[in-house]
Structure 1
Amino acid sequence: MGISLAWVAVETLPGELALARLSLSKTAKQCGYPFIGLVSHALPYNWFLLAASRCDHRIASPASMAAISLGCRAVACAVEEHVGFASCELWEDGKRSWSVAHDGSEDPENISFEGRVPQRFHALVASVEGEDSENFDGHFHMDIPLILAKELSGFRHDDINPAVDDTPFDVLHDEQGVRPWWRLWQ
């Protein structure tokens, strides 16, 4: 089946401010990982994570990333495992610095990028395993955006990480698009 996930990690921005910039609020609920819905979590090294159980969730949209990255850095990552899609973007002070994406539905060895990607990107592309490789200690094209996102923020959705896994996630409420039940037709 595979995971469908969008996540954003923002550096040095207090969690409450990150939530406010995206019109999100904490509920009184907590949950573990994997989760369903929208959650937040403090990460080590002064990063704050927002994650949604849909790879196309608005938290990783250009408008959201421009808002959340004002005055700081933010990483957006989207993963749709069942079709072999992964992407990563770095935003700084409201602007996208670079992006990397792999779309396995187009080609299993597809990798695209825009902007001034880190030198590490080129090293990862040069050392990628071939499609038919059985070396599971190596990395594949789909891993490249995920590796870059982890190297920036310290988070990768499919890693075992006690700092993240052993602490509950805060369940969030999305304030955008909320309408009273009697206005469902609008």
Structure 2
Amino acid sequence: MGFNMSWLFVDGIDEEVLYTMLDLVATDVRPDPYDLGTSRVPLAGSRLKSGWSAVFAKYSLVMDAMFGTSPPRVARLPSPSRCLACVVLEHAMISYAGFWQDGRPVWEVRHDGGDHLEATGDLPAEFAAIRDAGMTKQRAKKPGPWGVDHLFDVALDAAAGVTNYRHDHDVAPDFFTDLRTLVPAEGNVLTRLSQPPTWWQTAGSIEYE
């Protein structure tokens, strides 16, 4: 089945402030880090040793932080701050990374499967090397339905270049400093993307389940 999860990292802000700006509330439950983004732990957050504050979610829930309101919730983030959102949907071979700074979008990278790769904005200097490596591997892959989708990793590697985090890589035991489950504020029930972006139809579903 693979990974179907998303995460959002923000620096220059306390984690409790981040949760409030995203309309989330921390509980006293301490989840297993290996369950992040699953049905067992659909929503969690933590302060990280690196100084970032983070929210981890099942499926594409952090997309609502990017697109679910007008203006988007990430526009509430104070200056100076940096925000990196990442979505990985292996069932549809979709990967996405979007970077905001001081409440404004800076760049995004999106892969919708196959040979599709779209990158816009003021991309980081190392992005060209990440993209070229992925495209070289993609062109060299063996044809057929079981070939590896190397472009899928481009957005994830671009995000990791900023945060030094990938969902499928091991982290140090002290990576999380205060990992707790989160719930929507005021009893709101988040079950589907409220305002999916126009390209989201490639995912096949706007439901979180």
Same fold (TM over 0.5): yes
Q: TM-score by structure 1 length? A: 0.82
1:114 aligned counterpart, secondary structure: strand
Aligned residues with identical type, % of pairs: 24
Distance 2:78 2:149 in 1: 29
Give the AA of the match of 1:82: H
Deviation at 1:69, TM superposition (A): 5.7
The aligned residue for residue 64 of structure 1 is: 73
Deviates more, 1:10-19 or 1:69-78: 69-78
Give the AA of the match of 2:48: L
Deviation at 1:139, TM superposition (A): 8.7
* Unpaired segments ≥5 residues, structure 1: 180-186
The aligned residue for residue 22 of structure 2 is: 22
Aligned positions of 1:100-179 closer than 5 A: 100-104=109-113, 108-128=114-134, 129-130=137-138, 133=141, 140-163=150-173, 169-175=179-185, 178=188
Distance 1:161 1:30 in 2: 17
* Unpaired segments ≥5 residues, structure 2: 143-147, 190-209
The aligned residue for residue 47 of structure 1 is: 52
Distance 2:173 2:154 in 1: 23
Give the AA of the match of 1:2: G
Deviation at 1:3, TM superposition (A): 1.6
Q: TM-score by structure 2 length? A: 0.73
Deviation at 1:70, TM superposition (A): 4.4
Q: 1:163 to 1:110 in 2, by over 3 A?
A: farther
> Once the two structures are superposed, what CA deviation does each residue of 1:77-100 show, in whole Å capped at 9, x if it has no partner?
111011111110110011100000
Distance 2:7 2:186 in 1: 17
2:29 aligned counterpart, secondary structure: strand
Give the AA of the match of 1:88: A
CA RMSD of aligned residues (A): 2.5
